[in-house]
Amino acid sequence: MQNKDNLYHIEDIEFNIDNFVEKSKIIKEKFKLYNKYMEFCPFDTQYLIMQLLKYEARNSNLIEGIYTSDIDLLTSEDPSSKKITNYLSSLKEAINDYQKNKIYTLDSFLKMHKNLFKNIISTDAINATPGLLRVRNAQIANHNPPKPIYIEEYMKQLINWLNEDSKWDKYPNELKCPIKVAIAHAYFEKIHPFSDGNGRVGRILINLIFNSFNLSNNSYFFISKSILENQFEYYMQLEKLDNNKDYNNWILFFLDLIIEQLDTNIKVIKNSLQLLIKIKNDLLLEDSNLMRNLKNKILKFISRYPIFTITKLKSYIFDNNSEVSDKEFQKAFEDIKDKYNIKKIKDTSFYEFIDVVKIIV
Residue 243 assigned as binding residue: yes
Task: Note whether 292 and 282 are within 8 A (CB).
Answer: no
Query: Nearest 5°: phi and psi at 339?
Result: -80, -35
Residue 185 falls in the annotated catalytic set: no
Query: Nearest 5°: phi and psi at 14?
Result: -110, 135
Residue 200 assigned as binding residue: yes
Closest among 56, 17, 36, 51 to 210, alpha carbons compared: 56
In whole angstroms, give the CA distance from residue 317 to residue 339: 20
Q: Which residues contact 298 (CB under 8 A, 6 or more apart)?
A: 313, 317, 332, 333, 336
Residue 234 assigned as binding residue: yes
Residue 135 assigned as binding residue: no
Residue 16 assigned as binding residue: no
Marked catalytic residue, from 9, 113, 185, 192: 192
Residue 196 assigned as binding residue: yes
In whole angstroms, give the CA distance from residue 338 to residue 329: 14
Residue 304 assigned as binding residue: no
Residue 119 assigned as binding residue: no
| Numbered residues of the known binding site | 196-203, 234-235, 243
Q: Which residues are catalytic?
A: 192
Detail the residues annotated as belonging to a binding site for ATP: 196-203, 234-235, 243
